[in-house]
Structure 1
Amino acid sequence: MIRLLIVDDSALMRRHLQKIFEAEGDFELEMARNGLEAIELARQFDPDVITLDINMPEMDGLTALSMLMAEQPRSVVMFSSLTEQGAIASLEALALGAVDFFPKPGGTISLNIDQVRDSLVAKVRAAASAQLKKAGKLRATPAAPTPSRGEPEPVEKLVEMPTDQGEGLVLIGSSTGGPRTLEEILPKLPASYPWPLVIAQHMPANFTRAFAERMNNTCALTVVEVSKPMPLEPGRAYVGMGGSDICISRRAGRPYAIPKPENKAYLWHPSVSLMVETAMQHFLPSQLIGVMLTGMGYDGADEMAELKRRGGRTLAESKESSVVFGMPAELIRRGGATEIMACTEMAATLIRWGSGKSITSSRVPRHAAHS
């Protein structure tokens, strides 16, 4: 049985969530109306997973989350409104240690919650087996300070990035746990990184803009959301817009990242599979690096494995550092990982590969993939 603590100030929402998880047959449930009750029930009930609303009276979800993680880390799925402020709060929750977040249905709750029940149950089940990462600290305000745009420490010192390595592209796919994992990678890359990076992070609409802005405030790279066709330039990272897919194309010979309406042939969005598939249509395999990070499912596994077969290079996040070892495991199972490593090692590898150094001439990887 999975012990689930549902925390929400809405009695109607609690009833609907109770109905959904009781119908699954393998959940033991407790309910709390606010953050104060959640902390006390967490001590008594010892839940495997907590669903935690962000906006509550007496004690809000972010404050409760920070106290829960300080007392005893647990798998938490946040409930958030589909607003810009809700997106900022959700990203703050992920930084504090939440495993995932779920957009809180608006309108007619009984109708809308039933439409997303399968996705919600899948997220909670994944959270029950997730590997927790060290929590951060609650900020005084949700806005991040603007750092200097100097070269980051300490990875920048490992190699002087060349500026003439030719055209290339880094393709990053991630889902559950991805935002915090990307915070382990992108800030370590220098502003002089010679290849653009394109990121398909599974997120709903209205959330990816806040995520891109948050990352832009912590990186030497310029990080933007792809809300319109954008030329791909070195020293920039492009986050696919939630509620759409991201494709790679060319216009007048220049590579572009282009947002497209969600393609129903793919299960997850922004689709990693579609991003990699379209990139391979416009770049040579030797010009592409695929990076598969933590997440549920198998989005992009077939395409990145095909990229490796054609001569491209791929990284898969190791089980030890993955919050959910789903997407990387699928890539590894297909023999599609050139190297397997913890997310903390990836920036150095991307710098090494981006500098034009071959795989065989560099250090022997600690984790070697087997085709």
Structure 2
Amino acid sequence: MTKVLVVDDSALIRRVLSEILTDAGFEVAIARDGVEALAMLQVFEPDVVTLDVQMPRMGGLECLDRIMIERPRPVIMVSSLTREGAEETLSALELGAVDFLPKPDGVISLAVDELAPVLVEKVTAAATARVGAPRRLVERLRTRRGDEALPKPRRRSGEPDGLVLVGTSTGGPGALETVLKDVGGDFPWPILVAQHMPATFTASLAARLDGLCALDVLEVAGPTRLEAGGVYVARGGADMVVSRRAGILVALPAPTDPAFRWHPSVERLVRSAMDHVAAERLIGVLMTGMGDDGAGAMTALREAGGRTIAEAEQSAVVWGMPGALVRMGGADAIEPVGRIAGRLSAMLAP
């Protein structure tokens, strides 16, 4: 039986999360703050920890740092849907958390039915997750130049020769950092990213990536012309689609379509790109994440003459999405995350 430690200073949240997990068949223990959580690690030895970000005595980030150093295990952060909560959650993912869960807001009883399946799915995936994000943080720190902004090339106007379509979910922010920091400023195709995240998180994600890599990274909040030298991050709470406006290739947010389970939808992004760009001018990259979002569309892309890359199991936090692509026979290449940028460059070499 999977053991889960629920850490939160709110008695109500502890009770709600504990009841959901217990009803789903998990063995559950609770802690009221980071100090109690560290003590419970030795006594209860949980397989997964859900960890509140803001707590008295010892906050979630400090507790997470101690967990990853002293007793590494999968941790899911429970965070408020605010800009501050987004920044703290992204910091937690850098420190080694494998996933995050928006904290229930408003009337808790009304949110339980929506929260329960998401919580159970995330804990189930986390129990099999590869705890390797701190290594990515070390790599990132080695590549930073203090707090200096990296020089940015000018985005190059005109119709791009092709598009790179990237899909990620659980463990995605760390994987995106690893790939994009290795992509040079002269990369010839726009890169479009669908990362499963709430609306309040993706602007912070884009800003962090922009400070890390040589390309210009922005969140797509409205119709946006696609240009070489740019990375375009789908806005959370919506889907990103490729279209044409006055003959110009653009990305734009679209209301979520219930036909697609996860959002921003990788599947919808890829299929919309195939409607407006020849398959041989598209490259799909599917990286770490639970589920199978994007696997069907990228398999269809490969069958139509496009190219695809799946992240290898050895580096993926959760090998759900890329694993599904491999099982469908839709992957041209299977690469650990640290080699994906090089593979992209090789695919575009003259």
Pairing 1:291–2:282 present: no
Quote how far apart the aligned CAs of 1:146 are: 4.3
Q: Deviations over 1:245-270 (max 9, x none)?
A: 00000112221001001111100000
What is the distance in 1 between the residues matched to 2:82 and 2:39? 30
Aligned equivalent of 1:306, options 297, 300, 305: 300
Corresponding residue SS for 2:193: strand
Q: Give yes or no for contact 2:185–2:229 (8 Å, CA) kept in 1.
A: yes
Pairing 1:249–2:248 present: no
Q: Deviations over 1:105-155 (max 9, x none)?
A: 111122213322101110011000001114147x9xxxx93422169xxxx
Corresponding residue SS for 2:297: helix
What is the distance in 2 between the residues matched to 1:351 and 1:165? 19
Pairing 1:5–2:26 present: no
Aligned to 1:322: 316
Quote how far apart the aligned CAs of 1:166 are: 5.7
Pairing 1:106–2:105 present: yes
Structure 1: any 5+ residue segments left out of the alignment? 152-161, 357-371
Aligned to 1:68: 67
TM-score norm. by structure 1 comes to 0.89
Quote how far apart the aligned CAs of 1:47 are: 0.6
What is the distance in 2 between the residues matched to 1:145 and 1:238? 23
Aligned to 1:148: 150
Instruction: Tell me how large the CA RMSD over aligned residues is.
Output: 1.8
Percent identity, please.
48
- Structure-2 change in CA distance of 1:165 and 1:227 (3 Å): closer
Aligned to 2:346: 352
Aligned to 2:114: 115
Corresponding residue SS for 1:331: helix
Runs in 1 of length 4+ with deviation above 4 angstroms?
Answer: 162-166
Aligned to 2:125: 126
Q: Deviations over 1:330-358 (max 9, x none)?
A: 111111000001010001111122233xx
Structure 2: any 5+ residue segments left out of the alignment? none
Aligned to 2:209: 215
Q: Give yes or no for contact 1:193–1:354 (8 Å, CA) kept in 2.
A: no
Q: Give yes or no for contact 2:152–2:215 (8 Å, CA) kept in 1.
A: no
Name the one with the larger helix percent.
2
Aligned to 2:193: 199
Aligned to 1:337: 331
Aligned to 1:82: 81
Corresponding residue SS for 1:200: strand
Corresponding residue SS for 1:182: helix
Aligned residues: 340
What is the distance in 2 between the residues matched to 1:165 and 1:228? 19
What is the distance in 1 between the residues matched to 2:270 and 2:342? 22
TM-score norm. by structure 2 comes to 0.94
Corresponding residue SS for 1:290: strand
Aligned to 2:227: 233
